[in-house]
Amino acid sequence: MSKFHSLHLLPQPKPLTTVLLLICLSVFSPLAQAQNACENLEQNEEYQSFVTQGIAALQGANYDEAFTLFSQATEICDADPGVLYYLARIKHLQGDCQAALVYYQESTLALSKGLIRSELTVARVQKMQDDAQACADEEERLRREEEERLLAENAPEESEDGQGGETDGEGDDQPSAIFNMADTATWMLAFAPRVGIAIPTSDLGPFVLAALEIDYFLPFLDNQLLITLDFAYTRPSFEDEVDDSRINGTYPFELSVDMFKVSLGAAYRIFDADALIVPYVGLALAVHMLKTTENSPLLQDEQSEQSTAVGVDVAVGADLKLGPGLLLAELRWLYAGLQHDLTGSSNSGYLGILLGYRIGF
């Protein structure tokens, strides 16, 4: 048999098999390449450096620098849902809702592929994606309204009123910006100065209450669990008259108690950092430093006593995103014993009604 005929006896590849092979290569080859690029990221020092510096820049509100660093990380691996989520948050905070929407979608897609393990959930990313979509829709609506306004005006009217129209447009965007600046998901430390009124649980009268809380956000549970260190001061008082046979009558006196409280405890934010309003509860061990002072016309010098008592501090409140921080309203119940000769058996407890502002970084 000739060589020519023997070639025709060899099995020839079928056209359908060839097509299926090419399709498989075109689909799975990029996926395999992406998977290889994203393997062992924990040992990739360059990648980890970009991500660590990016998070630090984001926490410092250096959004342009953070975006550049996270973008450099995606050049090494573009399938990390956490990095894509950070890029989306940066654009969201900068007001570029269209760009944020694209990155949220990419983060969701990366989560569905599961190439890299992440603490992110699809539900959380989807919620932020919905917010970005609403923001983008609003931007589009305002843009169309502006185009219609310009088309409806003639040239002279446009030249006279153009500047005023731009001012109105900026005013429409301002409220949403005010209520979306704070990003508590990146906070590690916060300070919350507060002022209000203390209503004692004893016979003492209400008085002004001043307080300062320092919060440390634990790096898990989406920053919802905090360690709190709180300082508070108030000085309630009590006025009355007593009978005294020595003067055949009564004499007035004023009793006041300086209450300085230091408490250490924990607080739990019921919603995650993406919510506009976040209620919270807290429980702490409190140390009360007390000084009781009595003044009376019959006394040449004021009389005073000092002591320290241990008690409890319970807090219930809510944070509202406003500007770069959180506007807060809070109720606090404190209780500790008070055993002075001037007061008798009493207590240094009070209900505090407070307003304040929490700022973090």
pLDDT tens, position by position, 273-324: 778 899 999 999 999 998 988 887 666 677 888 889 999 999 999 999 988 8
Give residue-wise pLDDT tens across range 164-182. 444 444 444 444 555 556 7
Q: In terms of Cα–Cα distance, which of 97, 98, 101, 44 is closest to 75? A: 44
Q: Do both 312 and 241 map to the same domain?
A: yes
Give the residue with greater pLDDT, 210 vs 163: 210
Total domains present in the chain: 2
Q: In terms of Cα–Cα distance, which of 314, 315, 316, 312 is closest to 347? A: 312
What counts of helices (H) and strands (E) characterise the chain? Answer: 8, 11
100 C-beta neighbours (distance < 10 Å), count: 25
Does residue 265 sit within a domain?
yes
Q: Do both 125 and 219 map to the same domain?
A: no
Buried b (16+ CB within 10 A) or exposed e, 59-87: beeeeebbbebbebbbebbebbbbbbbbb
**Cα 174–chain centre separation:** 20
Beta bridge partners of 144: none
Do residues 128 and 98 make contact, with C-beta atoms less than 8 angstroms apart?
A: no
Write out the residue range of the structural domain in which residue 91 sits.
34-178
Q: Do both 173 and 192 map to the same domain?
A: no
State the DSSP H helix or E strand holding residue 165, giving kind and residue range, or none if neither: helix 155-178
- Could you report how far apart the first and last alpha carbons of the chain are, in Å? 86
Q: In terms of Cα–Cα distance, which of 180, 181, 186, 178 is closest to 361? A: 186
In one-letter notation, the amino acid at residue 266 is A
CA-based radius of gyration for the chain: 33
DSSP state of 276: S
Mean pLDDT throughout 231-244? 84
Does residue 11 sit within a domain?
no
Mean pLDDT throughout 216-242? 88
DSSP state of 14: P
Give residue-wise pLDDT tens across range 303-317. 888 889 999 999 999
pLDDT given for residue 217 in this prediction:
92
Does residue 9 sit within a domain?
no
DSSP state of 361: -
Does residue 5 sit within a domain?
no
- The last residue of a domain, from among 178, 210, 227: 178
Do residues 213 and 191 make contact, with C-beta atoms less than 8 angstroms apart?
A: yes
Q: What are phi and psi of 6, to 5 degrees?
A: -65, -30
In one-letter notation, the amino acid at residue 339 is Q
Does residue 19 sit within a domain?
no
Beta bridge partners of 27: none
